[in-house]
Structure formats: C-alpha cells, structure tokens
Amino acid sequence: MAKWWRSLRTVVQSPSPLPLRLQSLYSQSSLYHTIQAIPREFTGSRVSARDRLQGRIPAVVLSQGLLDKNPSSRSISRKQLLTTERKQIHSILKSVELPFFCSTTFRLQIRAGSGSSEVLDSGTILPIKIHRDEETGTILNLVFVWADEGTQLKVDVPIVFRGEEDCPGLKKGGQLKRIRNNLKFLCPAEHIPPKIEVDLSKIDIGESVLMTDVEVHPSLKLLSKNENMPICKIASTDLFSPEPAQEPAQE
C-alpha cells in the first residue's frame, strides 16, 4: 500500500479544519430544494392510489430508532404520515441523482394543506427508501427519517472513484476492480456526506484502497467488522487474460 494513503489517516483523525473539497461536499445538501408536504390523515391502498392519481406521493417520516430490531433501543415516536408532490420529488432526483438521494439531507416543511402558507412543522430529513413499481418504475411511496442536528444516523454512503486518468496502475495497463459500492457509517446528521470520494491518482498495480484509507469527517464512525477490507484494487491484466490455447503436441 502506498505511503500516501497511510499518511491520509493521520490527516483525517486530526482536529485540523477539513479541506475545502470536503467542506463543500458536506454543505452540498443546502443547495437543494426544501421538500413541501401536507399531512395524510388516512392510510390504505385505496387512499394511496387516490393520492397518486392526484399527482402526489405518499410518504412517512419517522425516527430511525423505530426501525431498530431491538425494542429497547427504539426512541420516542415522532412519526408523520405525509404526501408530497410528484413533480417536486422528480425535480430533486434530477438534481441529486441516485444513489446520492439517500445520503443527502433536506429541509422539510409540513403545511396545513396544498397551497397553504401555514407551516405546521419543519425539520431536516434524510431519505432512506424509495418504493417503486417493479414493472413501471413509478415511485409508490417514500420513507424518511428525522435528521435533526446532533442525531446519530446509520447511513449507506455511495463510493465515487476519481483520478482514474492519472492512476499509474491503469496507465500501465492494470484494471480497476471495484469491491465495494458503498460504506455504512454512523454519522451526526449535520455531517452526513452525500458520497465518499476515493482518489486513484497514486495507486499502482497490485495496490488497493482499504476502508480505513478513505478521507471522511472525523465524527463519522465506520460500521464494519473488518475495517481493513479493500474497497478497490488495481489488478494486473494477467489476472483477467484467458490462458493461451496449447498447441497440439507433434508426433
């Protein structure tokens, strides 16, 4: 493993200010729209179908603790049944793109009714699930969790690879083997990264990037039984080349 990656851990774990690139990454969600929603008093497939016909998507916002399998660790319920406009969600998805939608926090305003200026409740939320129709891909409903400042949330953060054009291993003919597409972190809500960037610009053939080598905010805790597992590696093309056909023995 290159020394450059090992020295990176020291930089990440120190209390020094984050690099400008990381600062812009963590403040990215503030650029997106505030999600406007209205309360949903009734549930059921017929009610949901009617909402969809009206151009709205049923949604629920709850505390992440309610999803915990251990009842003793579940927090006090703050569950809200809502609907939001389909056009608004589609517009946000075009701006954020999947899979970053479920690792980006948004402001939420719950209004008294469609077109109402009265705000009943507001806060910060994190999308955790998009339910779609298996055949058409139409969004059926959305699940969010409250992401108030100071709240600790478990988040699957997508991995993005950069620096491939400068990667010495790829220049020598190696191939990038992607082993992980995301990493799960326990994050303070205010420090959830929309993505994890892995820089390949100094990785040579035979070298790999480990989970512990990535640059993240020091308040994030990696949730993995083995933090030394690789995220990716630059493999020699010899590993991918088929064995040459053997010529028949001459009599």
Q: Are residues 175 and 234 in contact, defined by beta-carbon separation less than 8 angstroms?
A: yes
β-strand 175-178 against 119-132: which pairing, if any?
Answer: unpaired
Q: CA angle 61-150-66, nearest 5°?
A: 35
Q: What is the pTM of this model?
A: 0.78
| Cα atoms in the 13 Å half-sphere on the side-chain side of 56 | 20
Q: How far apart are CA 114 and CA 101, in angstroms?
A: 24
Q: How far apart are CA 74 and CA 245, in angstroms?
A: 61
Q: Where in the chain is the domain with CATH 2.40.240.10?
A: 31-148
CATH superfamily of 149-237: Ribosomal protein L25, C-terminal domain (2.170.120.20)
- pLDDT score of 4: 40
Burial profile 109-135: b = 16 or more Cβ within 10 angstroms, e = fewer: ebbeeeeeeeeeeebbbbbbebeeeee
CATH superfamily of 31-148: Ribosomal Protein L25; Chain P (2.40.240.10)
Q: Are residues 148 and 124 in contact, defined by beta-carbon separation less than 8 angstroms?
A: yes
Q: What is the mean pLDDT of each run of 10 residues along the chain (251 residues)?
A: 38 42 51 85 90 96 73 63 96 90 95 92 95 95 94 95 96 95 95 94 96 91 92 82 51 46
Tell me the three-class secondary structure of 119-177, residue by residue.
EEEEEEEEEEEEEECCCCCCEEEEEEEECCCCCEEEEEEEEEEECHHHCHHHHCCCEEE
